[in-house]
A and B are shown apart, each in its own frame.
Chain A
Amino acid sequence: MTSEQNGGIYEAARLLRLALNARETVARSADYQQLLQRFHTDPEFRDTAHQIARGLDLQIIELARDIGLAVVNIAEGPYAPTLDDFRSNLRARERIVYGLLLAMLTAYVYPSRRAVGELDDSSVVSIELRALVEWASTTSRQMKSITNAEDVANADLRAGFESIAVLEPFGDGQNTLQYRFRYVLNWLADHGLFLRREEGGRELWIARPHFRVQARFLMLSSHDRLIEFLGARVDGTSNPTT
């Protein structure tokens, strides 16, 4: 291996290190800018970066040139997040509610196939918390009224939308949709997927292009799994393999 190749590997690994932090931006880091330039113009370097990522069970996703790269997990490798990474010590039922809220947020931000698969990565979506809360409450309550769901004593048999529908949208305390969505948004902002900005006295939550990549990845990966679950229910068989 030549020293030039060695240098390429070193720089490709450095680029990956920068890309792993979604809060890092090309505009703020000359190093990132330089390495990204090489990534886009040197095919060999790009291949090296992709191979290093693959070795770490990661996948590099190219965003618009002025934004950088996004990285997603492709297996349960060392970089795969665990449930404990999000508000550890949650009881299982609480965890599920937060999981559903995260899914609702994703579908709210990108309500159509076109929005998730947006060609232009550099355009972003911004949302307001109040509108999100109202939408989530209405959606879950509509689903509940359409299915005529009756309250069941066994919590395990309760559908996801019921758990959301019973939550008050606004109010004091932690048991409201507003509180929980704010927590989720803050958490995502903490990880560089959202930005919080003020505009004319309103609080706007901006979904960064990295969030779209994660959302796309989630929807692509989960579809088959969900179909499998619902199919198993129709067949009357037990849950799919865990």
Chain B
Amino acid sequence: MSDAFWRGAVNRRAKNLALMKPFFDLEANKGMQVDLDDYDMHLLCSVLMEAIIAEMGGITAGAPYSAVLRELSKVVLKVNPTASAGEVDRIASHIIDHLSSGRGRDHFEVSYQIIAESGAVEKLSHVYRLLEQRLSPEDELVYVATSEAIHIYLSGLGHELEAEQAANDAILEHYLRRGKHKEAGEAADMERKRSVELRAQLRGWLIAAERSFDEIQYAAKVLPELAEIRQRVEARGPVEQRQIEEIQSRALQLPPGDDGRVNLINARKAIEDASLEHTRLLAELQRCSRTLLDWQSHHRFRRGESPAIPDPLTGFLQPLLRLTHAELAIAIPRLWPLLLPPRLPVVPDLPALLDSLLADTREPHELSELEPMPENCEEIAGPNRFSPEVCAAADALLVTLGDSFSLSAALGATAAKFGPNSPEVSYVSVLVPRWFELDADDEHIARPTGQAISAAGFFGDELTVTKGTAA
């Protein structure tokens, strides 16, 4: 083995081993925050990664939490059949919190040593994430595995992706020839994951290229690399087609319902998925190639992390919190609006204003987060109207009071007959004051006496009621 080959291999593997630290940390510290002693975190991480990578090939290009929960619960319930849904959720959330570096707030940083060309040992560090959160086209949160995570998960300890794919092809062929259909299915599924990995790798590479224009050499480095990836992806097409045909012909030789046949059908599905993944990748490659060319010609690359950005805690927040109110009163009017998005000014428009003012109903507007959500609003039952029976009973009582009576006397008589909390008392308390308004068709006239009501439980001006109409 040549020295350079040996050095390259051990360096790559050292780095890959270092990158696994977050998984080991999760297992080592499983009892510290959440009691997870019964569970093997390596297994749970593996299940979680499997669920996420599988969903990355789907429409949402990532796994929603429900998918992670569903897959994880299968294993959790095997370890602890009495585990509640809450416990599965707690475990899933704990693993995601850790592997996504505090839900995207942070990164992992590992240090590792390599053997340099000179033979000396050098220390390097690598900053990375294992899981990331993204928004699906429907603005739902989904989880994706980074290329580092996929690589680690697929046990790629220092191999080249292309070499791994070639090896995988050979394995699949071997299993098919030997009639090991279950293993062939697994190998096919691995093909699909490798294609997801290739896409994630390209994406990461593109981001780096997009943001560091000054540091990349388009003609010397980018173009050949793009061509190489495209060649590699294009070469997958015939291979996958051959594999599908091979599987198809073997599946047809087996009787329907046979386990081997089912495994082969699954294998074909996995390869078809991988093929679809490669088609998407090709489309992305073509778009990326055009865009890079355009950037190159117009020098439109953007820089990424700006050295001018202060440290958010020590360079921004702490100095701000140290200012006194008097200083903040000056500083905040200048600083605070910087964080607010642009405000859309309202242009004077008299016709629209008049339309709006005279409109029967307002235009429906987009629901604001500051308003309560409709589903959280409780329906409040309105008060029951007085029933005809209640009205009739109270009217009959008022007739017995004669042609002239006071409001207090009416309330007292009603309370004495029907009870102080009866609806009849409420009805009289509403009916009599209405006569004060002197509607033309009222048969009674109510006039204030200048004194207060003397009936228990009521407050307000006393009225004297006399029979007759205002007209």
Contact = CB atoms under 8 A, between A and B. Distances in A.
Q: Do A and B come from one complex?
A: yes
Given A43-B298, A123-B134, A187-B370, A199 B141 contact: yes
Contacts of B215: none
Interface in A27-83: 27-28, 40-41, 43, 46, 58, 62, 64, 66, 71-73, 78-83
A222 interface: yes
A43 B325 contact: no
Contacts of A8: none
A139 to B, nearest CB: 8
Contacts of B308: 220, 223
B4 interface: no
A91 to B, nearest CB: 11
Interface in B109-144: 127, 129, 132-135, 137-141
A138 interface: no
Nearest to B342: A79
Interface residues of B, number: 77
Interface string A180-219: 0001001101111101110111101010101000111111
B319 A230 contact: yes
A7 B317 CA distance: 45
Contact of A100 (B297, B321, B344): B321
B315 interface: yes
Contacts of A20: 342, 344
Interface string B330-363: 1111111111111111000000000000000000
B310 interface: yes
A46 B139 CA distance: 26
A67 to B, nearest CB: 8
Given A100-B320, A223-B316, A160 B328 contact: yes
A116 B312 contact: yes
A124 B340 CA distance: 19
B207 interface: yes
Interface string A135-176: 000011001000100000001111111011000000000000
A186 B370 contact: yes
A163 B92 contact: no
A27 B134 CA distance: 14
B422 interface: no
Contacts of B312: 106-107, 110-113, 115-116, 215, 219
Nearest to A222: B335
Given A86-B340, A107-B312, A112-B311, A125 B103 contact: yes
Contacts of A85: 337, 340, 343
Residue in B65, B317, B330, B342 with the greatest tally of chain A CB atoms within 10 Å: B342
Contact of B133 (A40, A116, A126): A126
Contacts of B366: 23
Contacts of A227: 319
16 contacts: A22-B341, A43-B297, A43-B300, A72-B341, A92-B329, A99-B335, A102-B339, A104-B317, A111-B106, A115-B107, A120-B132, A120-B204, A125-B105, A200-B89, A218-B339, A219-B315
